[in-house]
Chains A and B, each alone.
Chain A
Amino acid sequence: MFSLLWRFFPGPVWLRIIVLLLVAAALVFALITYVYPWVAMQLSTEEVTVTS
């Protein structure tokens, strides 16, 4: 998979490194904005109220 990614992007090595870093940054951004908040919603939260 990593090798496929490496071959997917054209250009010299330095450009590929930059592009792949940008892709990684986009991935982290997507995780923080969409994935992690969604996961947080799924994890059960503790009860905090007293009820009979």
Chain B
Amino acid sequence: MVDPSDSRRARREQRASQPRRDPDLDAVRSLGFEVEEPPGQAVPRAKASGGAAAGRGRKRRRGRLSPLTVIGELLLVAGIAVFGYLVWQPWHTGLAVVDKQAGLSADDSAKWREQAAEQPKWDGKVPVVPKPEAAQVFGVLYVPAFGKTYANRMAETTDWWTVLNLDEKGIGHYENTQMPGQPGNFVVAGHRSGPLINSFREIMNLRVGDPLYVETAQGWYTYRFRNVEYVLPNETDVLNPFPRLDGTPGKDQIMTLTTCHPKLAGSAERAIGYAVFEGFQPLSEGPPAALAKVNPEVAKQSKDPNAPAGNPVEHAASQIGKVG
């Protein structure tokens, strides 16, 4: 049996003993020119250096590529690639996904406005959003406190891989809780950190009285933020029709946001944000004026930005939010 390393060495020695020809010069020669090999190029590849390398013939001019060199260079490239991920991830979750959500939300919103134009005039009652199917997008959340142009689609269920982790959804509605317009608790979940989508990243930016707008095919539901509390992951009473209280639900309409806590450091706890329903406005009256004022994307929707934005239905619970 021939040792492969022996045959390789033999080939190498054969190569090394031949004078090295410059391929560029060969190309010139093939065109019919007479070219001389520059000095130093025509000499055999390896310079003899004493008899040190006896059995191996002459040493090559270019040192043999050491596997350590290759490993080192691969490690360099891998290090740069890892650094690139560290740069890419905040760009992805902070800009790319946010832009994608804004675009999708604008599409949804345009679709709903078209549908609303064909429907009869609003009867003055706050409509209840019909229960969507699993993974179906039913609304868009606008929260100026999360960013002036923040818009994020909301879908049914809190399943990871059909709603919460997807770039195009990201906020999931707990299917056992109520919908907007219904007395009770409208509870949604979203990621606060992580590499995928961070719908509730800025939940700590909410201050008492900050508005949260939910746009659906039925209209605009405005909520006012009240408070944040930290709970353990098993404290499911935050999902109660009135959070934290047992008993028959009253007329209050609450919106609850659940996300992980602490931010960027695991999810040993949950951060829960509460907001109280303030008013409703049909799509035909355009977006809420306060939102159109801060969000230029939404302002484009209103037919006449200077027109007064209708009279939202006031709700008793809304008075709580007026503090801020």
**Chain A residues at the B interface, C-beta cutoff of 8 Å:** 1-4, 10, 28, 31-32, 35-37, 39-41, 43, 45-52
Contacts and interface: CB of A to CB of B under 8 A. Distances in A.
Interface in B270-295: 270, 272
A31 B84 CA distance: 9
A4 B65 contact: yes
A40 B198 CA distance: 13
B85 A39 contact: yes
Interface stretch (B131-139, B178-186, B235-243): B235-243
B192 A48 contact: yes
Given A39-B85, A51-B234, A46 B194 contact: yes
Contacts of A47: 233, 260, 267
Most chain A CB neighbours (cut-off 10 Å) among B23, B158, B195, B235: B195
Nearest to A44: B194
A49 B73 CA distance: 44
Interface residues of B, number: 41
A49 B258 contact: yes
Contacts of A49: 158, 172, 174, 189, 258, 270
Contacts of A50: 231, 233-236, 238-239, 258, 270, 272
Interface of B: 23, 65, 69-70, 73-74, 81, 84-85, 88-89, 92, 158, 160, 164-165, 172, 174, 189-196, 200, 231, 233-236, 238-239, 258-260, 266-267, 270, 272
Give the interface SS of chain B, mostly helix, strand, loop or mixed.
mixed
Contacts of B267: 46-48
Nearest to B270: A50
Nearest to B62: A3
A46 B266 contact: yes
Given A31-B84, A37-B92, A49-B174, 15 more contacts: A1-B74, A10-B23, A28-B84, A35-B81, A36-B89, A39-B195, A43-B195, A45-B191, A46-B193, A46-B267, A47-B260, A48-B259, A49-B172, A49-B258, A51-B233
Most chain B CB neighbours (cut-off 10 Å) among A3, A36, A40, A48: A48
A43 B82 CA distance: 14
A49 B259 CA distance: 6
A9 B239 CA distance: 63
A35 B85 CA distance: 9
A4 B74 CA distance: 13
